Amino acid sequence: MGFHRGLHFLFIQVLWSVFAEGNKWKVTLPSRLSALTGSCLVVPCSFTHPSSHTPHSASWYLYSKMPSRYPLVYSSTRPEAVEAHFRGRTKLLGNVTHGTCTLLITEVTAQHNGEAIYPWIDNVGFKFYHTVVTLDVSETAAKPVMTISGELVEGHGVTVSCEVRHSCPLAPPTLSFERHGGEATVNSTEEGDGRWRLLSTITFIATAEDHGRPVGCKVTFPGGQKATTDLVLHVKSLEFNMTSIKVRQLPK
C-alpha cells in the first residue's frame, strides 16, 4: 500500500512541476544572432506566461548598464521614443496573445553590432532583461559553399550545389551560377535560432569540354555585398570498344 501511495505522490509532483513550468513567465530567444549590414534580421522570440494573465503587447529594449535607463528598440505605442538607429527599422512579427514576440529589424547597420536587446511583455513585474540576444553585425559577406554530387564522368548527369546562410527570410540574398548552362532550382530552409539556409542547384550532362572548366556561384545580399566561389570540374572520359567501356582520367 505504501509503495502505491508513494507512486501516486510522485506522479502528482511531476504533474505539478509541469503545470508550474508552463504557468510562469519565461522568454525563449537565441543568445546571439549574426547579420549583414543592409540586410534585415529576424529575431525569433517566444514566451510562456501565467494562466491568470492574457498578454496584449510586447516592446523591445536595448540593454543598458546605466541605472533607470531603458532605451526603446520597438514600441507600438511610443514609436517616437525609439532609439534613433532603430527608429523606423523595427516591427513585431506574429501574435503576442499566442506567445510570440519575434522582432524584425530592417536595414541593419554597423551601429547595431555588439548591442544586446530584450523583449518586455505588457507592464508586469517580471524582469525580462535577464534574457537578452546580442547582435553580431558584419559588413562582409561570407563566400558560398559549393559541392558536386557524384562522380564526374563524360556523358553522365552531374549536380552542382551552392549554399549560403542568412538572417533575412523576408528579403533573402540571391544565388546565381556563372560560366555554365543548366537551369537552377532554389530552396530555402529554416535552420532555427534565426538562421536560414539558401540552396541553389544546377544539373547538366558532363562533357569532355567541361574538364578543367570552372563553375562559379555568386551570392548577392540586399545590402549590396557580393561573394563568389569557383569550383573546377575534373571530368573523366569514357572509352568505348566492342567488348568493354573504360573510364580514364582526362589530361589536365
Does residue 55 fall inside a structural domain? yes
Instruction: Give the model's pLDDT for residue 180.
Output: 66
Task: Give residue 40's domain range.
Answer: 23-138
The model's confidence at residue 9, banded by pLDDT at 50, 70 and 90, is very low
Q: Is 143 helix (H, G, I), strand (E, B) or coil?
A: coil
**Residue 207 shares a structural domain with residue 128:** no
Mean pLDDT of 58-78: 90
**Residue 195 shares a structural domain with residue 107:** no
Residue among 123, 101, 92 at smallest CA distance from 47: 101
Give the strands of the sheet with 184-192, arranged side by side: 145-149, 157-166, 195-205, 184-192
pLDDT tens-place string over residues 82-114: 999 999 999 999 999 999 999 999 999 999 999
d(CA 13, CA 7): 10
Instruction: Give the model's pLDDT for residue 14.
Output: 39
> 138, 154, 175: which is the final residue of a domain?
138
pLDDT tens-place string over residues 111-148: 999 999 999 999 777 888 889 999 999 999 999 999 99
pLDDT tens-place string over residues 24-67: 899 999 999 999 999 999 999 999 999 888 899 999 999 987 77
Does residue 2 fall inside a structural domain? no
**Residue 131 shares a structural domain with residue 152:** no
Arithmetic mean of pLDDT over the chain: 86
**CA distances in angstroms from 46 to 42, 120, 174, 235, 242, listed in the order given:** 13, 11, 29, 50, 68
> 138, 159, 180: which is the final residue of a domain?
138
Mean pLDDT of 156-177: 94
**Residue 128 shares a structural domain with residue 226:** no
The model's confidence at residue 239, banded by pLDDT at 50, 70 and 90, is low
Does residue 15 fall inside a structural domain? no
**Residue 35 shares a structural domain with residue 117:** yes
Domain count, the chain: 2
| Grid cell in block for residue 223 | 545590402
